[in-house]
Amino acid sequence: MSQPNASQQQQSKGPPYASKVASTGGLPSVIPDVPVCAVLLCFYIGFAITNMTIFQLNRRRKYKFLPTVFIFGFCMSRLATLVLRITWATRQHNVRLAIAANVFVNAGILILYLLNLIFTQRILRATHPKIGWHAILSITFKVFYAAIGAALAMVITAAIIGAYTLNTSTLEKVRDVQLAAITFLLIFVTLPLVLLALAHFLPHSSDEEHFGQGSMTKKKVIVLLVACLLITIAGFKAGTAWMPPHPITKPAWYHSKASFYIFNFALEITVLFILTLSRPDKGFHVPNGSKGPGDYTRLSISAGPEITREEREMYGVDKV
């Protein structure tokens, strides 16, 4: 009689129980996962340092732009994600470690989803102030922001419950919850396209305002590119989730490591390149205290003291 493998042994010991269903990225191994994750770590570290440097230089000038901190926070969450995956690769049958690694993969990207919606909201408020600042739309945004937090909680809770039961009925309900949450996230990430279409195709408003540096066309292009990349990421996750489950011994092509790294981290890094190089702290900055139509124009931006010439040359930061 053949001896049970390590995964089967852990199944008998559980909970938590190792998954019997194939997942994107599969079980990490030292080769190739550790070298790939190490390279990705370098990218995220670089973006984290760059965005925090920009934020600190702006802060010294009393120039507030919190989205830069959010981008830094996203990079830090991805550092944790990759460290967990590297650790998991060296302890393949640690189910708790697997749960944590998968939760971080799905959770961190929400920061980018929120940022792109915020940037699009600012475009709509500038091009069509009466619509963009309407109370109904503002309440709708708040509901969506709360809902995305709820969706994250659902995904995390379902993942934990699913790992601590073998009951078929419970596992089916867990899958339903996960599908509902991931489908909502796909809908959420398409909202910037809807708002961008409104801002672009609605009749020109006589009350149109300008905010930040650069043309409105440039801002729209940035939001559009980021939205398309984020929709690809969310669409891949939703599409693979809705596919019939495959046994862990017979994964589909979309469960491969190549698909995992391309449709998650490679696309995320592309988004970071766009957001960092386009300097959103300049282009998407709005005056503090903006609460209604006309505030983008009426309220002045306090730029604070200018940074030194050496800092300007080193970081390419111009006075706003």
Asked if the structure places residue 41 within a domain, the reply is yes
Asked if the structure places residue 6 within a domain, the reply is no
pLDDT category at 298 given cuts 50, 70, 90 is confident
Domain of residue 275, residue span: 28-299
pLDDT category at 10 given cuts 50, 70, 90 is very low
Task: Give CA–CA dist 187/177, Å, rounded.
Answer: 16
pLDDT category at 311 given cuts 50, 70, 90 is very low
Tell me what the mean pLDDT of segment 55-66 comes to.
Answer: 89
Asked if the structure places residue 2 within a domain, the reply is no
Render pLDDT for 18-50 as a digit per residue (tens, 0 to 9).
888 889 999 999 999 999 999 999 999 999 999
pLDDT attached to residue 2: 37
**Residue 81 CB: number of other CB atoms within 10 A?**
26
Residue 126 has pLDDT above 50, yes or no: yes
Residue 318 has pLDDT above 80, yes or no: no
pLDDT attached to residue 300: 45
Asked if the structure places residue 220 within a domain, the reply is yes
Asked if the structure places residue 189 within a domain, the reply is yes
Render pLDDT for 223-266 as a digit per residue (tens, 0 to 9).
999 999 999 999 999 999 999 999 988 999 999 999 999 999 99
pTM across the whole model? 0.87
pLDDT category at 14 given cuts 50, 70, 90 is low
User: What proportion of the chain, given as a percentage, has pLDDT over 90?
Assistant: 61
Residue 70 has pLDDT above 50, yes or no: yes
- Kindly give, in sequence order, each residue whose CB lies less than 8 Å from that of residue 93, ignoring residues fewer than 6 positions away: 6, 7, 10, 18
Task: Give CA–CA dist 115/268, Å, rounded.
Answer: 13
- Kindly give, in sequence order, each residue whose CB lies less than 8 Å from that of residue 283, ignoring residues fewer than 6 positions away: 212, 213, 214, 218, 219, 222
Render pLDDT for 178-203 as a digit per residue (tens, 0 to 9).
999 999 999 999 999 999 999 999 88
CATH number at residue 105: 1.20.1070
- Kindly give, in sequence order, each residue whose CB lies less than 8 Å from that of residue 195, ignoring residues fewer than 6 positions away: 117, 120, 121, 123, 124
Residue 284 has pLDDT above 50, yes or no: yes
Asked if the structure places residue 315 within a domain, the reply is no
Report the domain count for the chain. Answer: 1
In contact, 201 and 55? CB cutoff 8 Å: no
pLDDT category at 13 given cuts 50, 70, 90 is low
Asked if the structure places residue 266 within a domain, the reply is yes
Asked if the structure places residue 239 within a domain, the reply is yes
Nearest by Cα to 18 from 34, 6, 29, 28: 6
pLDDT attached to residue 291: 84
